[in-house]
Chain A
Amino acid sequence: MLPNEYRIMKDFMLGNQAVAEGLYEAGVRFISSYPGTPSTEITEFAAKYDEMYAEWAPNEKVALEAALGAAIGGGRSFCAMKHVGLNVAADPLFITAYTGINAGMVIGVADDPGMHSSQNEQDSRHYAIAAKLPMLEPSDSAECLEFARDAYDLSEKFDTPFILRLSTRVSHARSTVEKRDRVEHEIREYVKNPQKYVMMPANAKGRHTVVEKRLADLQEYVENCPFNKIEHGTDNKIGIITAGTCYTYAKECFGNTVSFLKLGMVNPLPEKLIRDFAASVERVIVIEELDGVIEAHCKALGIAVDGKNLLPKEGELSPELIAACVLGKKPDFKALDEKIPVRPPVLCPGCPHRGVFYVLNKLKLYVSGDIGCYTLGAVAPLNAMDTTLCMGASISALHGYNMVRGENDKTVAVIGDSTFMHSGITGLANIVYNGGHSTVLILDNSITGMTGHQDNPFTGVTLKGKPAPNISIEKVCAAVGVNEDHIKIVDPNNIGELEATIKAELATDEPSVIICRRPCALLKQVKRLPSLKIDTAKCKSCRACMKIGCPCISMKDNKAVIDDTMCTGCGLCEQLCRFGAITK
């Protein structure tokens, strides 16, 4: 445990940064993650500490397996992902409960209620229950640091990984933390133990018994653990059971009048603690985001509680929503009697994806889409996407679509470079192996864009900023079996060439890949060109330049205008103007 003479330093940190600091203080040696909002910055901040090795893995499954391997090898390890990343990593996740660890291991998973940057809302607590793994849930940056740090001793005590559940409002809020020095932990001895680490039926049967016994031990631990706290209110009418960011909302809403049972450990949930708390108040309300997990637990214990009968299962909660749903309070505010147009996210000025979606829209193709910035190709005026499912599904789902409909000449898949590495390669192998003819566009912008510019195995640089072997997209496609004559590389800002290439590849009756290669316009090394100008005398108001959905171009007094503070001079609009009104 920690010596008393620890220097304590105050700092102000993003929740994700505080998790990284917690890892540092716990003596973590190995971190492997795949970026995903809102979890990404944990690993980015962790990489800044020289004492910790940190890497981007091709996907979450690889990351979690690498972290498990490091823990078995005797070094404290960590991996982070967003909620849907845990779906990808679910296979090794369930096995970690069986094998246990050697050195401590923590898995950080960040949920995104309200879907600020996600394709679904998913409550990761169900994974902890299903995999029978302990889960902690901090409510602010100070707890992010403490819970991440303190999870490691417990991980080793109970011989299991701990899951650290975060959410957007915890990961991306800054508040004060108390830092300490790092405690180094030597690499633990590795002792060969196939009964523990070789998961075949004979061994796994024995390990399942261990899992159940451990869960019983954890159940006992959670009744008196430091993560769960009771705060007595000024009267005993209402008792609130809550966790994570919802605790902060409920405190804001109810203040000190009501009693709180704040759960920091959300799996397994305590029984006696909850019974005693419920008995101490007249009415119990469970306040939790997404699913009624704590509520169901209380009801299973035979405790009458209010919860999802009052509060929504969808979206984020807020102090305002809780006040309205529980107390019937409405805020006092002003609003303009005016239609305020929505402002959805758009592809950035100069984005290399814009030309691709302009052409796909023009050719009226069925577009099997994927997860990344380019998902914005789905919105008006580009409107060039038919499906967006999950990472990698653009390629694999297009194969199924084409096999039943036989419309290979009217369909394409679009997938980013990082997403292709994540889980697109196997889909492409499936097309080749099973005689599909699909055309796949790989939008190679040389970076993992949406999550804020992370390197990946195709960029030739590691998370620590060191040069890495530059894995070649075209060689990967060839290795999977795509005929090299049908692996084309085009500049997506050259609309004519792109359109001709897509048409030619759609006409072939074998699998083809078109790599649309141009770096993200936001990368530092991409030179911004001077803004383009519109010669209003030549502008015929045909609105052809408006079809690319560039936020820099709008109509003023029935003529197109370019906002020179935003334009990056990419030249896409210039190619669309038949009257030569757009010039450098």
Chain B
Amino acid sequence: MIKNIMIVGVGGQGSLLASRILGRAALDAGYDVKVSEVHGMSQRGGSVITYVRYGDEPVYSPVICKGEADVILSFEQLEASRWLPNLKIGGAIITSTQQINPMPVITGAAEYPTELISKLKAENVNVLAADAVDIAKKAGSVKASNVALIGLASHVLGFECEALRSAVAACVPEKALEINLSAFDMGVQAAL
């Protein structure tokens, strides 16, 4: 079995670190793993997608296509909705409720759709939404919102909480560890 996790968000939100943590957890569990990142121009506030694939059989492709993602981990509502087509039927979307207006919305050329989370739920999609930025703020730093999001998703990622915690510890710099672990724990709590 291969598990496909997509991390979607806006450039600069910390999706690279989130993918590194999940990759670490999958490696520690002894799986074959591929993580695909995009660097460069799209990181400048654009829509950013990272793929994490792991399994007990060889993982070939580094990318996740339409209808293939078991989990979509989203930093932002619009991005969760944009990438819904990549979700496997029966898969789960874990999203932060944050809204960041893309430039066409800011300039008035487009509108930010309303009630996206209810609309996702109306499509019978398994959605869990919470304010990851708020959780991270309470834990001590908005920068930990990526780790708070992993906490929120811990029940669908296929790893024990302890395994995810040690992956966080392996990927986050020492001085930021305490805040990140508490953001993770608060994320786990918020999902209950």
Interface residues of A (CB under 8 A from B): 12, 14, 37-38, 40-41, 116-117, 140, 168-169, 172-176, 245, 247-249, 251-252, 318-320, 331-336, 338-348, 373, 376, 379-381, 450-452, 546, 549, 551, 553-555, 563, 565
Q: Is there an interface contact between B107 and A549, defined as CB atoms closer than 8 Å?
A: yes
Q: Tell me, in angstroms, the Cα distance from A348 to B13 when the chains sit together.
A: 12
Q: Is there an interface contact between B109 and A320, defined as CB atoms closer than 8 Å?
A: no
Q: Tell me, in angstroms, the Cα distance from A340 to B99 when the chains sit together.
A: 13
Instruction: Please indicate which of the listed interface residues B23, B41, B86, B100 has the most CB atoms of chain A within 10 Å of its own CB.
Output: B41
Closest to B115 in A: A338
A-contacting 9-mer, from B28-36, B148-156, B172-180, B183-191: B28-36
Q: Tell me, in angstroms, the Cα distance from A565 to B57 when the chains sit together.
A: 42
- Residues on A with C-beta less than 8 A from B79 are 343
Q: Is there an interface contact between B39 and A117, defined as CB atoms closer than 8 Å?
A: yes
Instruction: Given A319-B61, A334-B87, A551-B101, check contact A348 B36 (CB 8 Å).
Output: no
Q: Is there an interface contact between A346 and B103, defined as CB atoms closer than 8 Å?
A: yes
Instruction: Specify which of B39, B59, B62 is in contact with A38 (CB 8 Å cutoff).
Output: B39
Q: Tell me, in angstroms, the Cα distance from A40 to B39 when the chains sit together.
A: 10
Sort A-B residue pairs by CB-CB distance and give the 5 closest, nearest first: A117-B40, A320-B65, A37-B40, A345-B46, A341-B110
Q: Is there an interface contact between B38 and A168, defined as CB atoms closer than 8 Å?
A: yes
Q: Is there an interface contact between B46 and A344, defined as CB atoms closer than 8 Å?
A: yes
Q: Tell me, in angstroms, the Cα distance from A174 to B12 when the chains sit together.
A: 20
Instruction: Specify which of B40, B45, B78 is in contact with A551 (CB 8 Å cutoff).
Output: B45
Q: Is there an interface contact between B101 and A335, defined as CB atoms closer than 8 Å?
A: no
Q: Is there an interface contact between A345 and B11, defined as CB atoms closer than 8 Å?
A: yes
User: Min CB distance, A530 to chain B, in Å?
Assistant: 14
Closest to B65 in A: A320
Q: Is there an interface contact between A248 and B103, defined as CB atoms closer than 8 Å?
A: no
Q: B14 at the A/B interface (Cβ < 8 Å)?
A: no
Q: Is there an interface contact between A175 and B33, defined as CB atoms closer than 8 Å?
A: yes
Closest to B24 in A: A12
Q: Is there an interface contact between B85 and A334, defined as CB atoms closer than 8 Å?
A: yes
Q: List 18 A-B contacts (CB under 8 A).
A: A116-B40, A172-B36, A173-B34, A173-B35, A173-B62, A175-B33, A245-B62, A248-B60, A318-B65, A336-B84, A336-B119, A343-B45, A343-B82, A344-B46, A345-B45, A348-B12, A380-B103, A452-B43
Instruction: Specify which of B60, B78, B87, B142 is in contact with A343 (CB 8 Å cutoff).
Output: B78
Q: B67 at the A/B interface (Cβ < 8 Å)?
A: yes
Closest to B66 in A: A331
Q: Is there an interface contact between A565 and B106, defined as CB atoms closer than 8 Å?
A: no
Instruction: Specify which of A174, A332, A336, A344 is in contact with B89 (CB 8 Å cutoff).
Output: A332
Q: Is there an interface contact between B104 and A331, defined as CB atoms closer than 8 Å?
A: no
Q: Is there an interface contact between A333 and B86, defined as CB atoms closer than 8 Å?
A: yes
Q: B123 at the A/B interface (Cβ < 8 Å)?
A: yes
Q: Tell me, in angstroms, the Cα distance from A174 to B52 when the chains sit together.
A: 9
Q: Tell me, in angstroms, the Cα distance from A347 to B12 when the chains sit together.
A: 12
Contact with A along B46-84 (1 / 0, CB 8 A): 110000000000011111011110000000001101101
Q: Tell me, in angstroms, the Cα distance from A116 to B89 when the chains sit together.
A: 28
- Residues on B with C-beta less than 8 A from A249 are 60-61, 63
Instruction: Given A334-B125, A551-B106, check contact A343 B46 (CB 8 Å).
Output: yes
Q: Is there an interface contact between B45 and A348, defined as CB atoms closer than 8 Å?
A: yes
Closest to B10 in A: A343
Question: From DSSP, what is the main secondary structure of chain A's interface residues?
Answer: loop
Q: Tell me, in angstroms, the Cα distance from A338 to B115 when the chains sit together.
A: 11
User: Min CB distance, A83 to chain B, in Å?
Assistant: 13
Q: Is there an interface contact between B62 and A450, defined as CB atoms closer than 8 Å?
A: no
Q: Tell me, in angstroms, the Cα distance from A176 to B109 when the chains sit together.
A: 45
Instruction: Given A248-B62, A319-B63, check contact A339 B46 (CB 8 Å).
Output: no
Q: Is there an interface contact between A373 and B110, defined as CB atoms closer than 8 Å?
A: no
Q: Tell me, in angstroms, the Cα distance from A66 to B61 when the chains sit together.
A: 36
Q: B120 at the A/B interface (Cβ < 8 Å)?
A: yes
Q: B17 at the A/B interface (Cβ < 8 Å)?
A: no
Q: Is there an interface contact between B87 and A333, defined as CB atoms closer than 8 Å?
A: yes
- Residues on A with C-beta less than 8 A from B59 are 175
Closest to B123 in A: A334
User: Min CB distance, B69 to chain A, in Å?
Assistant: 10
Which B77-135 residues have C-beta < 8 A from chain A? 78-79, 81-82, 84-87, 89, 100-113, 116, 119-120, 123, 125, 133
- Residues on B with C-beta less than 8 A from A452 are 39-40, 43
Q: Tell me, in angstroms, the Cα distance from A203 to B102 when the chains sit together.
A: 60
Q: Tell me, in angstroms, the Cα distance from A332 to B104 when the chains sit together.
A: 30
Q: Is there an interface contact between B45 and A346, defined as CB atoms closer than 8 Å?
A: yes
Instruction: Specify which of B34, B85, B133 is in contact with A175 (CB 8 Å cutoff).
Output: B34
Q: Is there an interface contact between B102 and A116, defined as CB atoms closer than 8 Å?
A: no
User: Min CB distance, A27 to chain B, in Å?
Assistant: 28
Q: Tell me, in angstroms, the Cα distance from A348 to B41 when the chains sit together.
A: 11
Instruction: Please indicate which of the listed interface residues A332, A334, A381 has the most CB atoms of chain B within 10 Å of its own CB.
Output: A334
User: Min CB distance, B117 to chain A, in Å?
Assistant: 11
User: Min CB distance, A583 to chain B, in Å?
Assistant: 21
- Residues on A with C-beta less than 8 A from B33 are 12, 174-176
Q: Is there an interface contact between A450 and B40, defined as CB atoms closer than 8 Å?
A: yes
Instruction: Specify which of A251, A380, A553 is in contact with B61 (CB 8 Å cutoff).
Output: A251
Closest to B122 in A: A336
Which B1-24 residues have C-beta < 8 A from chain A? 10-12, 23-24
Q: Is there an interface contact between A116 and B42, defined as CB atoms closer than 8 Å?
A: yes
Q: Tell me, in angstroms, the Cα distance from A451 to B119 when the chains sit together.
A: 38
Instruction: Given A174-B34, A348-B12, A565-B133, check contact A332 B67 (CB 8 Å).
Output: yes
Q: Is there an interface contact between B41 and A37, defined as CB atoms closer than 8 Å?
A: yes
- Residues on A with C-beta less than 8 A from B110 are 339, 341-342
Closest to A171 in B: B39
- Residues on A with C-beta less than 8 A from B104 are 341-342, 344, 380
- Residues on B with C-beta less than 8 A from A342 are 47, 102, 104, 110
Q: Is there an interface contact between A546 and B106, defined as CB atoms closer than 8 Å?
A: yes
Q: Tell me, in angstroms, the Cα distance from A536 to B137 when the chains sit together.
A: 25
- Residues on B with C-beta less than 8 A from A381 are 103, 106-107
Q: Is there an interface contact between A117 and B41, defined as CB atoms closer than 8 Å?
A: yes
Closest to A372 in B: B41
User: Min CB distance, A43 to chain B, in Å?
Assistant: 14
Q: Tell me, in angstroms, the Cα distance from A379 to B108 when the chains sit together.
A: 14
Instruction: Specify which of B24, B41, B43, B112 is in contact with A341 (CB 8 Å cutoff).
Output: B112
Q: Tell me, in angstroms, the Cα distance from A339 to B102 when the chains sit together.
A: 13
User: Min CB distance, A446 to chain B, in Å?
Assistant: 17
Q: Tell me, in angstroms, the Cα distance from A549 to B107 when the chains sit together.
A: 7
